[in-house]
Amino acid sequence: MTAPKSALSGIQKVLGKSPYQAHAGCCTWLNGVFWIRILATLPNGNLVIENLHDVGKIAIKKVEWVIEPDLVYPLLRGRDVHRWRAEPSAHIILAQDPKTRRGIPESVMVLKYPKTFSYFKQFEGDPKNPEHGALRGRSGYRKYFNPTDPFYSMYNVGPYTMSKWKVLWPEVGHSVRASVCGPTRGKESKPSLPDHTIIVIPCDTAKEAYYVAGMLNSSPAQIAVRSYIVLHPSPHILEHIHIPRFNPENRLHVHLAEISRQCHLNRGPEEMEEQIDRAAARIWRVNLAELRAIQEALSELSGGNPSGEDPDNPGDED
């Protein structure tokens, strides 16, 4: 760990193992098949979709298809998650049972979701000699699944993936840019699913999610993270940053959750972030002098941008 000396005493109060567990998002190994754009909704509810054929390194043919809406979820990519903001930019087809951690059996797919199954079928590849760029040829499928498992099975999909309330941050970057993501509003009330470049903490309630995001985005947590990671703020962060379990009876916790919620509504104006820092500092018992030292050190590390947000991606451009 490297950090300015003046900030060390404050940072030490933040360190420790967290009771929360973080997970990577779902891994497809062939995003160009599973990631889609919805072009239209038909009167019977079915969706006209186009695969995001050009998102990945592996060339995929471009396809327009009609599928059932049941297995389509909003997709959060790394670029969709910012500090205090997470907005899905595409959709993903999840033909997976989070409990068995296998794809939905083909026999069920044929009966219940024949259009979605036929969509996948065109990308299946030769079962005996699966080529690169086919679903059966995916490195992960070959490594983790049997040829008898559904050929559209995915990885890193568990109950946490389907959690209604989540705290997320992108795995790529020099800091944690945390945001809360709840169920989508309106007709399509489905959880947004993170891709595998996003780290997820499942939460029971909205308040708990706002509390955890507030703690992670606070200056004490930010500097602790930045003092030891190089590029990938992965789930291991919670092995080092101690975030006490949310207690709805604890007024400090509830207060922090409320400010964090306001930051999400207002995209984190500076005066609110100062309140976040102070509330988080009280929870960690970091005194005011230590907090000031941390904020100054963070400002130096960020080149005068203590929030840790990318200067070219402030998150309030729209």
Partner DNA sequence: GCTAATGCACGGAGTTGTGC
Partner DNA sequence: GCACAACTCCGTGCATTAGC
Q: Residue 139 Cβ, how far from DNA at the closest point, in Å? A: 4
Considering only residues 140 through 179, tell me which ones interact with DNA, judged by CB under 7 A: 140, 143-144, 155-156, 158, 170-174
232 is a site residue for DNA (CB under 7 A): yes
Bridge-based pairing state of the strands 90-93 and 96-97: unpaired
Stretch that binds DNA, among 40-48, 133-141, 254-262, 272-280 (CB under 7 A): 133-141
132 is a site residue for DNA (CB under 7 A): yes
Sign of the Cα torsion 226, 229, 233, 236 reads negative
User: How far is residue 27's CA from residue 254's CA, in Å, rounded to a whole number?
Assistant: 34
Q: Residue 214 Cβ, how far from DNA at the closest point, in Å? A: 22
Q: Could you count the other beta carbons within 10 Å of the beta carbon of residue 173?
A: 16
31 is a site residue for DNA (CB under 7 A): yes
Rank residues 151 and 155 by Cβ distance to DNA and give the closer one: 155
Q: Alpha carbon 279 to chain centroid distance? A: 25
22 is a site residue for DNA (CB under 7 A): yes
Q: Residue 198 Cβ, how far from DNA at the closest point, in Å? A: 9
58 is a site residue for DNA (CB under 7 A): yes
Nearest to 199 by CA among 179, 226, 214, 218: 179
Rounded to a whole number of angstroms, the distance between the first and last alpha carbons of the chain is 37
Considering only residues 174 through 203, tell me which ones interact with DNA, judged by CB under 7 A: 174, 195-197
User: How far is residue 154's CA from residue 131's CA, in Å, rounded to a whole number?
Assistant: 18
- 200: phi then psi, degrees, rounded to nearest 5: -125, 135
Rank residues 248 and 311 by Cβ distance to DNA and give the closer one: 311
User: How far is residue 62's CA from residue 12's CA, in Å, rounded to a whole number?
Assistant: 52
Asked if 169 and 179 count as a contact pair (C-beta separation under 8 A), the reply is yes
Stretch that binds DNA, among 25-33, 109-117, 215-223, 255-263 (CB under 7 A): 25-33
Considering only residues 267 through 286, tell me which ones interact with DNA, judged by CB under 7 A: none
Applying CB under 7 A, the residues found at the interface with DNA are 22-24, 27-32, 54-58, 77-79, 101, 132, 138-140, 143-144, 155-156, 158, 170-174, 195-197, 231-232, 234-236, 310, 312-313
